[in-house]
Amino acid sequence: MTTGICRPEEIRDWQREVDVIVVGLGAAGAAAALEASATGAETLVLECASGGGGTSAMSGGTIYLGGGTALQKACGFEDSTQAMFDYLMASVGDALNEEKVRLYCEGSCDHYDWLVEQGVPFNPVFYPDSGDAPTSDGLVWSGSEQSYPYCEIAAPAPRGHVPACEGLSGSLLMQKLCAAVDASPAEVATDHRCVELVQEPDGSVVGVIATKFGERRAIRARRGIVITTGGFILDDRMLDQHMPFVKGVHLRVAANGDDGSGIRLGMAAGASTLHMDKASISLPVTEPWGLKRGILVNAQGQRFVNEDAYYGDLGEAALVHNDGHAWLIVDDVIFEQPEYPPREVSAVGETPIELERGLGLPEGSLESTLALYNRHAEDKRDPVFHKAEQYVQPIVTPPFGAFDCNVESSLYGAFTLGGLETDVDGRILDPEGNVIPGLHGAGRATAGLSTGGYASGLSLGDGTFFGRRAGRTAATRKPG
Ligand SMILES: Cc1cc2nc3c(=O)[nH]c(=O)nc-3n(C[C@H](O)[C@H](O)[C@H](O)COP(=O)(O)OP(=O)(O)OC[C@H]3O[C@@H](n4cnc5c(N)ncnc54)[C@H](O)[C@@H]3O)c2cc1C
């Protein structure tokens, strides 16, 4: 499989000519195609699989929206654009594109309404007990809004909008978005893998080469091409180059398309990339939330995070900053099996010292960590990591146990956050910051809103939000 560039003079016949080509039919591609075709532009979606959906269809389906959406209001929550903006600016990375975050927050309520218009259903019911509702309830906490320090920076509000289905809702989201694309004037060509971009010597991208069962087809785009091919979690070479630590994660859940091909296509056309070393890394060990009363310790027997943080923050803290060595320590009162996935108990002990020995931790380390934690927990305080009072209780009732949170033997989930650099309208940029004429992108083929920290729902959220903008920009570009 090649992913490169071809010159127009190498093409004898264009098999097809349309206004806009969208490459990849996940959530971002569906949003781009819907918006492009709604302007009246002749739109063709190329999808390498035999149907649309991508990783979006395998996902939890949560979409991070706020600022007072109709769903938040129906569930009785107040939120503001400013609170959402302040939370995201504080929590989802260091090198944020402030303009994109601002636009996303300002457009969030309208974007929710747009999703509903496309047929995506949301139940106006709030699920309070975990970030992944096992019910069809529509609104959940999906970030660290209630945890320190964010609860002191911005008024917390639940912003995880979950399509109405029990279990993973991504399938319902994509069923509805693909149905909307089918009902739109956009055309979908499945089993078409885009392998090359056609680029003029002046840099403008004017078409693609796609293969269908080995046969090459040249398709010209009069106005623009939108790359929405997903991330690169399945490409070991790209992981080796950018974030080898993620290769240790057992569960790289993704559709086959998440092999970085769209990112490499863009790079071959001269695109810049951003945040290629960033991933969402989840360690879902504190669901149900009663387990937040335990403490997470590293290979030195030390705590390293407030355990009530979003499980993406736990995963990042454990894998990126503690080499993927961690255990959740509980006592007999706190013990319960995590909902999903079930976790192995690494060791059990009648005393903290016995547990510490069972885990092979340095002598006295866990014992002193628990002693310090329990000393303050008597007063419902956690002066070290500021865990919320409701999750602070002494861990004193034997037997003591340790859930395995080591990357080599337990479940972490990961997907990539970096990709092609785009402007706020989805135009792909070169390393000088210049627009590559005709080339657009959205979703995980591009660098998203998050540049490190994460909240569930931001990927489908920014993919669909900026996918719509990219589709519109491509469709309204002057024909080449
Ligand atoms: C288990 C799990 C749960 C998740 N839950 C959530 C969640 O609740 N909320 C959230 O926001 N995010 C979630 N994510 C992350 C989210 O699913 C992805 O980041 C998001 O779906 C990416 O969307 P996309 O449209 O960019 O790409 P995709 O949905 O992967 O779509 C890309 C499409 O492009 C096609 N394609 C790829 N290359 C080519 C090519 N060369 N030519 C033609 N077609 C091509 C692929 O086949 C695919 O259909 C989750 C991820 C996982 C793994």
Task: Measure 450 CA to ligand 1 centroid, in angstroms.
Answer: 15
Q: Which of 283, 460, 468 to mutate to test the pocket of ligand 1 (most atoms within 8 A of CB)?
A: 460
Q: Which of 56, 177, 209, 456 to mutate to test the pocket of ligand 1 (most atoms within 8 A of CB)?
A: 56
Q: Tell me: pLDDT of 216 over 80.
A: yes
- Six-digit token string for 469: 């903008």
Q: Which of 188, 225, 229 to mutate to test the pocket of ligand 1 (most atoms within 8 A of CB)?
A: 229
Atom of ligand 1 nearest to the CA of 280: 15
DSSP symbol at 132:
S
Q: Which of 23, 55, 250, 446 to mutate to test the pocket of ligand 1 (most atoms within 8 A of CB)?
A: 55
pLDDT attached to residue 2: 54
CA-to-CA separations, 253 to 264, 366, 416, 449, in angstroms, rounded: 21, 34, 11, 21
Kindly report, residue by residue over 155-198, the tens digit of the pLDDT: 999 999 999 998 889 999 999 999 999 999 999 999 999 999 99
> Between vectors from CA 292 to CA 142 and to CA 337, what angle results, nearest 5°?
100
Atom of ligand 1 nearest to the CA of 27: 25
Whether 25 is in the pocket of ligand 1, judged by its Cβ within 6 Å, is yes
pTM for the structure as a whole: 0.95
Q: For residues 6 and 183, give the distance between their C-alpha atoms in angstroms, rounded to a whole number.
A: 33
- Nearest residue CA, atom 3 of ligand 1? 59
Which phi-psi region, left, alpha or beta, contains residue 130 (left: φ > 0; alpha: ψ -120 to 50)? beta
Residues whose CB is less than 8 angstroms from the CB of residue 236 and which lie 6 or more positions away in sequence, other chains included: 247
| Max Cα distance, the chain (Å) | 78
Strand stretches in 331-434, DSSP E: 345-349, 400-404, 413-416, 419-420, 427-429
Q: For residues 224 and 474, give the distance between their C-alpha atoms in angstroms, rounded to a whole number.
A: 5
Adjacent-strand bridge partners of 43: 20
Query: What average pLDDT does this structure show over 259-288?
Result: 95
- Six-digit token string for 373: 């934690």
CA-to-CA separations, 473 to 32, 33, 268, in angstroms, rounded: 9, 11, 22
Alpha helices in 329-396, H assignment, sequence order: 352-359, 365-377
pLDDT attached to residue 107: 98
- Nearest residue CA, atom 13 of ligand 1? 59
Q: For residues 191 and 73, give the distance between their C-alpha atoms in angstroms, rounded to a whole number.
A: 42
Band the pLDDT of 3: cuts 50, 70, 90: low
Kindly report, residue by residue over 322-347, the tens digit of the pLDDT: 999 999 999 999 999 876 778 899 99
Q: Tell me: pLDDT of 1 over 60.
A: no
Whether 220 is in the pocket of ligand 1, judged by its Cβ within 6 Å, is no
Sequence letter at residue 152: E
> Between vectors from CA 462 to CA 116 and to CA 146, what angle results, nearest 5°?
90
Q: Which of 455, 458, 7 is nearest to 209 (CA)?
A: 7
Q: Which of 281-295, 406-420, 464-478 has the highest mean pLDDT?
A: 464-478
Exposed (0-12), middle (13-18) or buried (19+): which is 421, by Cβ within 10 Å? buried
Whether 228 is in the pocket of ligand 1, judged by its Cβ within 6 Å, is yes
CA-to-CA separations, 26 to 1, 97, 162, 352, in angstroms, rounded: 21, 24, 17, 48
| Length of the chain, in residues | 480
Kindly report, residue by residue over 5-34, the tens digit of the pLDDT: 999 999 999 999 999 999 999 999 999 999
DSSP symbol at 444:
G
Whether 196 is in the pocket of ligand 1, judged by its Cβ within 6 Å, is no
Q: For residues 330 and 402, give the distance between their C-alpha atoms in angstroms, rounded to a whole number.
A: 6
Band the pLDDT of 56: cuts 50, 70, 90: very high
Atom of ligand 1 nearest to the CA of 52: 49
